Structure 1
Amino acid sequence: MDRHERLNALLDMIGQRDKIDVDETAAELDVSPATIRRDLDHLAERQLLTRTRGGAVASNVAYDLPLRHKAARNAPEKQRIAVAAAKLVERGMVIGLNGGTTLTEVGRAVATRPDLGERGDSPSLTVVTNALNIANELAVRPNIKIVVTGGVARPQSFELTGPFATKILDEITLDLVLLGVDAVDPLRGAYAHHEGEASINRLMVSRARHVAVVGDSSKLGGHAFARICATNEVHTLVTDTSAPDKTIEAFQAEGVRVITA
């Protein structure tokens, strides 16, 4: 294993486990602890993880990890949530999808729904997205018409942001937006870590007749750097069954329908 492969392996471990130990990782990768320390220092300098005594953690920089290094986190929950969120989609709708690991699963769940399969010459669904990876996966589906916003791609999330993206979104109306978030709170609303993503997501919300926030229970009850929208702009929350009852009740008290999966 060369250094490039080893660095990718370390990021994969961080993405899946949240924390790693120098000695255990050295044994697992069959290299010296000194090599692992140097590698972790290198990744910490690039803000891809946080060094700790004897190892490293990802908790404070999870949102800066490349998308594939976050995909394994809460994977079963995300897949169940995705299937539940996909049930909100109806044939003929124009839906918006932003980026992230959960929304990537939602896109797949929508694409594989048998009842949304191709009939005749017209697509059964139009998907508007600013996520390059989602557009790439859905573009091969003949039953789905894909509209991709403009913008500048963020390598961490594959999302397009910036003023070019607003030109498309200003001209359309969405029946439903399925919104992945970094945090959502019953009183403070939905948040993203990156202000550029929050801005595009906010515009999607403003163009949608129905807004459904999709996120596992680890996203509930907190906030991040940039607000996407207020709670009263959210119609539905789709989350997992580990969500605390008090948190669910707090969302319901704000008029949000909560679906658990």
Structure 2
Amino acid sequence: MSRYERWGALLELLAREGRLEVEEAAEALDVSAATIRRDLDQLAQQQMLTRTRGGAVAHSVSYDLPLRYKTARRASEKQRIAVAAAALVQPGQTVGLNGGTTMTEVARALVTRADLHADGDATSLTVVTNALNIAGELAVRRHVKIVVTGGVARPQSYELIGPLATGILREVALDVAMLGVDAVDVEHGASAHHEGEASINQLMAAGADRVIVAADSSKLGRRAFARICPVDAIDTLVTDAAAPDAVVARFTEAGVRVVRV
């Protein structure tokens, strides 16, 4: 287990339990107590938690883990989901991408599709995004036109939010809005932990002919704080093979096409 994987696991334990002791964390992660103490000290220096005698207590940010700590979680599932989601985009389309680890993988899958590589300097795909990391990766691809919203950057997700971002999205039309979400269920629809991110995602969905939600099975049947869109606004849900049949059936009955990979 790498350092970032360990840190992510510790922050998840803290988010769930609220308090963590060094010995129980060492046992849970199968590492030494000295390693856990060092990890907790480093996370405390980054203000990700509050150090206590013998352990740590949760800092509020632990409930919304920074992107760099999420990268290794369900990595294989996210890569399969990304390839399947990217396959739903047609050459020449305008695609909205929000931020997060799954959307980062979708962006990578899109730009490596051979049929989306135009000859010469021609553009074969237009991507509208509020994610700085995605824009940075795609900016060097000559066949992709990148449109980046303005806004204030959230360090947790590298996403731009606020009025400067919403102003751009109100002026563009999308063929496809490809959304990574924190949770999605039939009753509440798609949702996010942060209301600012949800607001941007709402505009992407509202301005698109088609909405595709890409979410691993751990996010299905759950709700997060801020609603993005109702389930009837979602055309396709791309998830992994571990999604329970009963949950998938409910989405299908609600009119959502479900792709499991």
TM range (shorter): 0.7 to 0.9
Q: How far did 1:28 drift?
A: 4.8
Quickly say closer, same or farther: Cα 1:49–1:248, change in 2 above 3 A. farther
| Contact kept in structure 2, 1:175 and 1:209, CA below 8 Å | yes
Aligned: 1:224 with 2:224 = yes
Quickly say closer, same or farther: Cα 1:204–1:52, change in 2 above 3 A. farther
What is the match of residue 4 of structure 1?
none
User: Residue type matched to 2:83 in 1?
Assistant: V
What is the match of residue 6 of structure 2?
13
Quickly say closer, same or farther: Cα 1:22–1:249, change in 2 above 3 A. same
Encode CA deviations 1:89-148: one digit per residue, 9 max, x unaligned.
Answer: 110000000000000000000011111112243210000000000000011111100000
User: Residue type matched to 2:115 in 1?
Assistant: D
Aligned: 1:39 with 2:32 = no
Q: SS of the residue aligned with 2:243?
A: coil
Q: How far did 1:207 drift?
A: 0.4
Computed over aligned residues only, the root mean square deviation of the Cα atoms, in angstroms, reads 3.0
Q: How far did 1:88 drift?
A: 0.7
| Contact kept in structure 2, 1:132 and 1:159, CA below 8 Å | yes
Encode CA deviations 1:194-222: one digit per residue, 9 max, x unaligned.
Answer: 00000000000010000000000000001
- % of aligned pairs identical? 58
Q: SS of the residue aligned with 1:210?
A: strand
| Contact kept in structure 2, 1:22 and 1:36, CA below 8 Å | no
CA distance in 1, matches of 2:30, 2:256: 49
Quickly say closer, same or farther: Cα 1:16–1:80, change in 2 above 3 A. farther
Q: How far did 1:186 drift?
A: 1.2
What is the match of residue 254 of structure 1?
254
User: Residue type matched to 2:75 in 1?
Assistant: A
**Count of aligned positions:** 249
CA distance in 2, matches of 1:150, 1:182: 23
Quickly say closer, same or farther: Cα 1:55–1:245, change in 2 above 3 A. farther
TM-score w.r.t. length of structure 1: 0.85
CA distance in 2, matches of 1:83, 1:75: 13
Q: How far did 1:62 drift?
A: 5.4
Moved more, 60-69 or 107-116: 60-69
Quickly say closer, same or farther: Cα 1:64–1:87, change in 2 above 3 A. same
TM-score w.r.t. length of structure 2: 0.85
Quickly say closer, same or farther: Cα 1:134–1:57, change in 2 above 3 A. farther
1:165-244 to 2 correspondence within 5 Å?
A: 165-244=165-244
What is the match of residue 17 of structure 2?
none
Q: How far did 1:31 drift?
A: 3.9
Moved more, 15-24 or 157-166: 15-24
Q: How far did 1:29 drift?
A: 7.0
Q: How far did 1:27 drift?
A: 9.3
What is the match of residue 72 of structure 2?
72
CA distance in 2, matches of 1:244, 1:12: 26
| Contact kept in structure 2, 1:126 and 1:147, CA below 8 Å | yes
Structure 2 residue runs of 5 or longer lacking an equivalent are 14-19
What is the match of residue 96 of structure 1?
96
| Contact kept in structure 1, 2:152 and 2:161, CA below 8 Å | yes
Moved more, 170-179 or 116-125: 116-125
Quickly say closer, same or farther: Cα 1:54–1:221, change in 2 above 3 A. farther
Encode CA deviations 1:77-97: one digit per residue, 9 max, x unaligned.
Answer: 000000000001110000000
Moved more, 118-127 or 137-146: 118-127
Encode CA deviations 1:211-234: one digit per residue, 9 max, x unaligned.
Answer: 000000000001011000011111
What is the match of residue 144 of structure 1?
144
Q: SS of the residue aligned with 2:96?
A: strand
Quickly say closer, same or farther: Cα 1:37–1:217, change in 2 above 3 A. closer
| Contact kept in structure 2, 1:16 and 1:72, CA below 8 Å | no
Q: SS of the residue aligned with 2:155?
A: coil
